[in-house]
Amino acid sequence: MDNLKKAVSTVIVSVLIIVSIHRVSDFLQLKDSDNRYSSYLTEDASIDVLFLGSSHVRHGFFPMELWNDYGISSFNLAANGSTIPVSYWTLVNALDYQEIKLVVMDVFDMWPGRICSDTWGQVHIALDFFPISVNKCRMVKDLFDDPELTDAKGVNLHEKRWEILWDIGEYHTRWTNLVKDDFATQSELEKNSAIWKGAAPLIQVVDRNKMVYQESVDGLEYDEISREYLLRMIRLCTEENIELVLINTGYDCNAEAKIFADSVYDIAAQFDIPYLDFTQKEIINFNTDLQTTGHNTHVNFSGAEKFTSYIGKYLSENYSLIDHRNDEAYSSWRMDYQLYTDSKETYLTTQSDLTYYLMFLADNDYQIVIEIREPSILYENRNQAMLENLGVDYSKIRSDCNLIMIDNGTREVVYQCMNEASADTYIGRLCTRNNEDAAVYEKCANENEGRMRISVINRNTGEMVDSRVFQ
């Protein structure tokens, strides 16, 4: 009997220790992964489309836009720094939670010859949100089995591989670096994740010329590791009856990555899989839609809106995806979309720089009224390129033009010159610059209200989103 009591006590103490360590581990774990992806695991309604790839996909495709435009239920499980091997295992684990109908997989490979991403921390953010499971254990064994495997900083990933499953080893020193998100509940993290469904916009604008690649490929070989895992993904999708669309978003990729992307044409043809090379299509504006220049160029918010619009139209025209917008099982998605709209409006209204403000106006939800007090502002900095990106035709702007109205939904642009008259706009009746006694929706701009005022209306609700004066 004494031995039985000791055994029971030992078991109880062991369980308490394990539970305590697990709770501490959860508390110390960096919450980025859960904040981005955790709602995927708890989504009751079916997710039909999954986006996979690196940061080019995470920042380039917005699932909530596909929902609003087509009723497509999708999730973006792409992660900063993910390689094709990591994306393959992300799909394997993702299928434990959803019966995906279609996968959009980016073949852009930033690190030819690497099994995993640039840094160990990026691997954690890509995979931490998945609970311990048989497939997660299989993933760790497969990806990190090589004793000589290191990341770009020389960290031996084989020695640290089990931290993917039991991550207190990675995060146990974070006591002095805890931030507000570390105290969020799991339900709060899932709510955050559901708004953008894994995606996120980038806020920067650069202008550059289209990349011209070298014609000679002598001595270059594409990445055999990526090829191996791409073929494994193709076989997995075939076995699971999942449609697969391959894409390449690799603007400014290096020569090895470019030759690999070109080789995918043969792979796609062999298996009769669509391959959309975005770098060979006229989708983005190289003066307005990119966030960085040089190697590893990403699209910004404006570019992502165009990427998303392109893939949404392609999927809706080529695949029998169900429109879930009127399905009661997706009522939470309607609420998520409202929160998503609110989030986009917050991004817009917190911009003080006119370039970034105009970038966030590249949204089909908006109607825009631009009042111009000093025409010179139209030609400063990147203003002309950004306004042309919204559909403004500068050849139609006369020297006395002082009002431009843009409907992003219909792509209609109206130019008016109010020398002595008032004009009806989306925000009501606007008076001329020197007639402050006229009846207006809100106070007319005067000599003290800057050189340009932009008023933004949500075209779906008719509500004013923002009204901003720029000097």
Are 441 and 367 members of one domain? yes
Paired strand residues for 366: 458
What is the domain extent for residue 184?
A: 31-346
Paired strand residues for 367: 407, 457
Indicate the SS3 state at residue 429: strand
Contact indicator for 443, 457 with CB cutoff of 8 Å: no
Are 271 and 363 members of one domain? no
Taking the CA atoms of residue 445, residue 407, residue 382 and residue 450 in that order, the dihedral angle to the nearest 10 degrees is: 10
- Domain contains 1: no
- Domain contains 4: no
Tokens of 460: 């779906």
Are 196 and 296 members of one domain? yes
- Domain contains 81: yes
Q: Sign of torsion, CA 52 54 59 60? A: negative
CATH of the domain at 36: 3.40.50.1110
* Run of H or E including 105: strand 102-106
pLDDT at 212: 67
- Quickly tell me which residue has 């998503």 as its tokens: 340
pLDDT at 258: 81
Q: Which residues of the chain have pLDDT under 70?
A: 1-3, 5-11, 13-30, 109-113, 117-118, 166-179, 181-184, 211-222, 293-296, 418-422, 431-449
- Domain contains 418: yes
CA dist 405 and 371 (Å) reads 9
pLDDT tens-digit map of 335-351: 999 999 999 999 999 99
Are 377 and 255 members of one domain? no
Q: Give the number of domains in the chain.
A: 2
Running DSSP on this structure, what letter comes out for residue 390?
A: T
- Domain contains 21: no
Final residue before a domain boundary, out of 284, 318, 346: 346
pLDDT at 426: 73
Contact indicator for 417, 407 with CB cutoff of 8 Å: no
pLDDT at 418: 67
Contact indicator for 394, 384 with CB cutoff of 8 Å: yes
CA dist 5 and 13 (Å) reads 12
- Domain contains 289: yes
DSSP code string of 209-238: PPP---S--TT----HHHHHHHHHHHHHHH
Q: Going edge to edge, which strands form the sheet with 366-372?
A: 412-416, 403-407, 366-372, 452-458, 464-470
Are 335 and 432 members of one domain? no
Rounded to two decimals, the pTM is 0.87
CA dist 116 and 87 (Å) reads 10
Final residue before a domain boundary, out of 289, 319, 346: 346
- Quickly tell me which residue has 């290191």 as its tokens: 150
For the range 339-343, what are the long-range contacts, defined as Cβ-Cβ under 8 Å and sequence gap of 24 or more?
A: 339/194, 339/195, 340/64, 340/195, 340/196, 341/365, 341/458, 343/195, 343/196
Q: Among residues 126, 122, 60, which one has the least CA distance to residue 87?
A: 126
pLDDT at 438: 39
Taking the CA atoms of residue 226, residue 229, residue 231 and residue 234 in that order, the dihedral angle to the nearest 10 degrees is: -120
Are 171 and 229 members of one domain? yes
* Run of H or E including 428: strand 428-430
pLDDT at 168: 54
Are 253 and 121 members of one domain? yes
pLDDT at 112: 61
Tokens of 459: 């075209």
CA dist 371 and 422 (Å) reads 12
Are 338 and 359 members of one domain? no
Indicate the SS3 state at residue 424: strand
Final residue before a domain boundary, out of 327, 346, 365: 346
